[in-house]
Chain A
Amino acid sequence: MNIGVFVCHCGSNIEGTVDTAAVAKAAMGYPEVVFATDTMYACSEPGQAGIIEAVRNYELDGVVVASCTPRMHETTFRRTLERAGLNRYMFEMANIREHVSWIGKDRAANTNKAAELVMIAVEKLRQNTELTAGEFSINKRVMIIGGGVAGIQAALDCADGGLEVVLVEREPSIGGKMSKLDKTFPTVDCSSCILGPRMVDISQNPNITLHTLSEVESVDGFVGNFNVKVRRKAAYVDWTLCTGCGECAAKCPSKKTPDRFNEFVGTTTAINIPFPQAIPKKASINPAACLMLTKGKCGACVKVCPAGAIQFTQEDEIVTEEVGAIIVATGYDLFDFTKYGEYGGGRYPDVITSMQYERLLSASGPTEGHIKRPSDGKEPKDIVFIQCVGSRDKSIGRPYCSGFCCMYTAKQTILTKDHIPDSQSYVFYMDIRSPGKGYDEFIRRAMEEYGARYIRGRVSAIQPKGGRYLIKGVNTLMGDQVEIEADLVVLAVGAEASKGAPELAEKLRISYDSYGFYMEGHPKLKPVETNTAGIYLAGSCQGPKDIPSSVAQGGAAASKVLGLFSKDKLASDPQISSVTLQRCIGCAKCQSVCPFGAIEMTEFRGMTKASVIATVCQGCGNCTSACPQGAIQLSHFTDNQILAEVNALCPY
């Protein structure tokens, strides 16, 4: 075998602390290395051309590039090898940037370590064999999990691109957080007026199957061939018959049912359609509040339903959907402000969340758009807004900025002035974060045209005082204490990961950060991809986002799926496990450790043997570690290849 070694400077990233020329020189002494050089940028066009030229001039059979992490450029260099006429698996990468130059300053030690990593790569490459990818066909349906604005955009874009779409939503209606908003910044246009038509498009698009009141139960399979079980929760109403007339809700006697859609401001009925623009416009029963389901008597809705749609015996149903790709758009949830004792910890009725305030502002909300205090229904005159409640606060485990609260608070002060012209809004803020098109101008408008008084500082206490509230805080610009008496306090609660986000990530086998937000494939270059092929992200499930960003990501994720589905077949990764039958003793240890269900036990001449389902295997290698016989081997990472690396490093 003729091996070529290319040691990359990565500008000064590597060369700054590693003597790459010395590493190349050392490499010339390694077995079967016939050519070694250092190169300024191995990944650049001239860098790659240099590799191709060397392959031809020195009749190389394999190439080692010592540069950055394989996550960055392994694919790049494998393509280079293919262009040079070599098999793409006759390539090894030594990571001398993340593993050497970026983490150590001692040039001599770094150079030594880099040379050893190159030696390991050479020994591995000597054991490599040519591998060829197979092909498999794909199912060109896409599932979108989450029917907020990001999921809606992704669904419509995919459907317009000719794909069959399955949209799964946990709540009875799609619309997400945006459907609860009164107006949107910075244009102050009506949220439901711009979202409503999109929601109708979803229900009318023949390419879209909608499962609301549904959650993903399990996900099997792999890119191109996912098998998703969806739990359709019992609505206790046959939606094929329900016409959405609302007669049932009008007659339901359980009028004190907590109103989830209205953020628990006011109450609703046990059977209800959550809001007038709901899609699908179907009634569902809250089983915890329904007299028939809890006490076995009532049935008022049955009597009035003209369609005979009420079904108290309805049960959850599991629907299986086969799709080739999944877009996750599960959004966010609101921080629970009761953790803040200084804001009353939830004990004061007129200290509410910003989302509750949206419902008070909304014409379709519980107060029909009149701002009324929850405690006594009176119109407030002095309103204090507190920003960063559950954002940028390490003490409660939320050190991140939720990004959109500054903007919606400014919007709410503007709407407050529109609703109650003789009102005064006060905003306690830490810093104003308004880096969007027209955003900072909008904040200025709230201050200058609508007279919102912005006070830079935190609030230390909210105390009831004679039917009103005393808000004590600090003005850090004036270096002074501030006390304001107000009728209503609105807390700009931050965003946190959607409830159940980590559990769904486990089902999807995608990563999430310590707060439960899903990890994108690359923070800059793969914002809507995940590290699991065929699964994409859109909207706030990846991190807090405002509406324009969520919509942009919905569209981006859809375009990724359309791109994936533009091929009829996908190349299968040949780096998968296979079983040597003579060695296999049928102990099934490999089957028990396989996280993908890729191993089945089969009969071979009357003996039990393991067998790998090639299309399901993801090449994790668990089975090879578990096998007591060395019978199951992962291509490109065989025991011999790993041992060659170890032996190179530990010769004694």
Chain B
Amino acid sequence: MTRSRYAYYPGCSGQGTSREYDSSTRAMCQDLGFELIDIPDWNCCGSTPAHAVDHLLSASLVARNLAIAEDMDVDGIITPCPSCLKNLKTTQHRMLRPEFHAEVQKVLGRVVRADLPIKSVLQVLVEDAGIERIAQESTAPLTGLKVVPYYGCIMNRPPDVMRFDDPENPMALDNILTAIGIEVLPFALKTDCCGASLGTTRRDVVARLSGRVLDAAAAAGADAIVTACPLCQMNLDMRQAQINKANGSHHRLPVFYYSQLIMLAAGQLGERIGLDKLCVSPFSLLSSLGSQTGEARS
């Protein structure tokens, strides 16, 4: 594999609620030989509040980051967060319209080409490193662990903009997790919505939607859920007790980031992996996996 150089966009959650996703992603990329360079002085993409109100505002926030990255001599921009990814790619898509492109440049007061490839870390992992490479790095396969992969609703949607994996039945996570020895169960809700940012305003909606994901994961016989999205992870993990209370359920399902499991399977532990940051503790589950892998990890 040729060494790839990417502008890295951590996203705001990576600085706060999903610090363990950010740090384990950086560790994983380092292991796999990707050179990540943070976009200097990057700003928030505006997330849902911006694009729900004003496309020009949203695009301008994103385009500033694109413009900085364009000065960086990189192969593309990557981000671990699907929500940031969606804003980055949607802006790029919208800027294909010359009038909109001109308008955004006027707001920024500078030229933005908006032509760098924009990908999720997951896509880069699959396309640049490849499943085989990940399997090779996996020195301590997580045999015995049964999970359902949860991609969330926007990782692959809208398909014309995201252009990665199957929008209805994505397989990237399935394939990666299988490669590191995990038993991946069929999961029909893998692209359902968790309730997203309604967690702050309409907890009942999150309790219903995320509750359904937890119910289905438990019914499938999963020990844990694996996500690739900070917001999904937060709703399923941090709000799991809230959801249990609202729905009268008793789930205790750890919710991992896939990057944590890849590093775990590569025999790495410690602060960068951040297993202790998970609200539903995974340690008893991991220790139950057997003497070979479990004890050392717990």
Contact = CB atoms under 8 A, between A and B. Distances in A.
Interface of A: 340-342, 344-345, 347, 461-466
Given A344-B188, A465-B216, 7 more contacts: A341-B169, A347-B169, A347-B186, A463-B188, A463-B189, A463-B216, A464-B188
Contacts of B189: 463
A464 B148 CA distance: 14
Interface in B151-199: 166-169, 186, 188-189, 192
Nearest to B215: A465
A341 B166 contact: yes
B167 A341 contact: yes
A464 B186 CA distance: 10
B53 interface: no
Contact of B169 (A345, A464, A465): A345
Main SS class of interface, B = loop
A341 B168 contact: yes
Interface residues of B, number: 10
B219 interface: yes
A571 to B, nearest CB: 55
A342 B219 contact: no
Contacts of B167: 341
Which A-B residue pairs are the 5 nearest by beta carbons?
A: A341-B168, A463-B188, A341-B169, A342-B168, A464-B188
Interface in B120-170: 166-169
A507 B150 CA distance: 51
A468 to B, nearest CB: 12
Contacts of A465: 188, 216, 219
A370 to B, nearest CB: 28
Contact of A345 (B168, B186, B192): B168
Nearest to A342: B168
A43 B166 CA distance: 58
Nearest to B188: A463
Interface in B186-238: 186, 188-189, 192, 216, 219
Contacts of B166: 341
Contacts of A340: 168
Contact of B219 (A341, A345, A466): A466
A342 B166 CA distance: 10
A462 B192 CA distance: 11
A464 B220 CA distance: 10
16 contacts: A340-B168, A341-B167, A341-B168, A342-B168, A344-B188, A345-B168, A347-B186, A461-B188, A461-B192, A462-B188, A463-B192, A464-B188, A465-B188, A465-B216, A465-B219, A466-B219
Nearest to A466: B219
Contacts of A464: 188
A213 B213 CA distance: 51
Contacts of A341: 166-169
Contacts of A463: 188-189, 192, 216
B169 to A, nearest CB: 5
A462 B169 CA distance: 12
Nearest to B169: A341
B9 to A, nearest CB: 29
